[in-house]
Structure 1
């Protein structure tokens, strides 16, 4: 058992708790059972969920028992957004999302192996559809709704923001009742006395604490607790977890392992120290050493590389991470391009400017392709790059301004890599 509160504090994660001293004592006397909920509003989690997923994992590594809730019940409604109503998905769609997200969470937490006896800290996977679907409207209103004050609910920040705009449906207004009742169920079923979440969930979580007190009198498991983590912001003011292409997903079909790696590798120097503390399992000494290297030699990007490799291995596996690293090296001439499989090469080229050609015929001039990819501003600039020795095709220097790309130069029958200088990469794809 380690002091998880100290761990969260030095990592800059701890935002709010109900009674820090009492919570620290309960954790020291542990193991404590805690939970965090993930509503299946899409078919995959994204990097914004990693803060809570990894916090659950930290608690487990510190000797506590996590419950990962995938809300098959609450997912049919969705936690209210600050601006507009959510799109409601069909029950079949949500069921598919629940299964997919459950598989993703299994990669981060230790569950009881099939056929083995459960250990005290083995994680539990739960779906609140189990109890919410069987509850009648009358039961919800009598047993749960009577404990909620409309006045207090109207003071919630999300509600106030929506009422100042286009309003809010009763469906979303009632979401807090459902989430609070989840906490009651975990308190009763598993002796769960801690719920964690982002700081924007503070109102929902504390409403659950109050519901436990009102329905069960904090018996027989004693007072329940709340703990929230700080929401991540980026130094440049843009939203964390977003790129020009949208959200960075954990599903490799939505965000390739190569793109996932590049997201972390491209972290701003101003952000990388915080990201290491939030997302890495490295020790304080290791992280502080990487911070020092960033200050002294920022161009080496040692901290970004360590962060990208650790998270890509954690989410996609060590083998996929190895392929990504090899692809990155190959694109810049430090490894064999021809050794890359088609899927990895396609993913790598998806992240760079490309020229798509429908046919090669007798060959397409490299000068045209350099200009079409945007590696140079014009064909005349492309000729100068070749004459100056700064143009490459599949990592081979192009020496002839009249050189063409032929079918024999395509990798896997449809890919070629262009490079100008050491750092500027472009792709050619036969479509």
Structure 2
């Protein structure tokens, strides 16, 4: 049975649901140091009067307290003078975003609904972040945008219009909140009963596969991922950070040379006419251009393969002929194929391929030399699986609209659009 914790409500007495009390940003909050590059952090401490000769040391200290220890309270930074701690607290914040909802699947997958300030969007915005525990690793799926412009026909997120890009602060905050909730910082405890890897880091892998197209928010994604891979902070290996794109061809080489993380391509079809329907960006950057960009990806080798994601849609892209064409398309590219059973969502026009057909497809590409594990769906019961993410307010608006239209049809009326929903948090 899935568990949902509405964190905007009062918690029952005596029930502990977080490793430490979260510090939450308020409206009109001070600027956050979270998500700043080292250069920006240096400028920040200079702005409050730290002498030039101390800047490097102070940046190093702050970086450690923020990213290694996970502190949100300047007063706990014991190797910083009390007077400087007060100046930092007066000028800046390390607050986490508002955590609205935490859902826990029967399989241990966790999904968090986070709310951020409007920042030009007109009202506060919401995104979803997912944690997937597996044997030997824990993967965090993070978002880069609120909504998406790409309208991939099999993807729930694509039914939510793009509201705005996330900042580097908001991207990094997703990692910080997840580590808070899992007890993945020193001095923090993992929640009792949580399903997590038996040893090592609880969050060992990060994938940019949540809401949005990362390469349409390149600079903020780049800044966040360089912070995440900084060896003196969060210290995630670039081999354990994967950026997934639907195929923004001009930015692929840039991602490889300036970020250097692993690359995943949301492929899903082996013919342009079908991919135009499933992944409409293909009309702008067709398969040949996309695969040429993959062949030129900086650092590509057998040790640094590109992952090609392929959602299995019944009667659409799952035939043995499709499998054969997929192998032919990827010839010469060090690659692995990630076969994803389609995860249904309300109103979706597709069905998941039969398991027997998925196994036939997988067997062919495996025999051709591509590692293609069939990803067992995780978190379906809380809409946390691949292609199911969408902000809760948008999901509820769609649900209410569908109920209204059904009621109008039953009454013999012409369906009309409901009035706009109240802003999130109102």
- Shorter-chain TM-score range: under 0.3
Larger Rg: 1
Normalising to structure 1: TM-score of the pair?
0.25
Write 1 or 2 for the structure with the bigger share of helix: 1
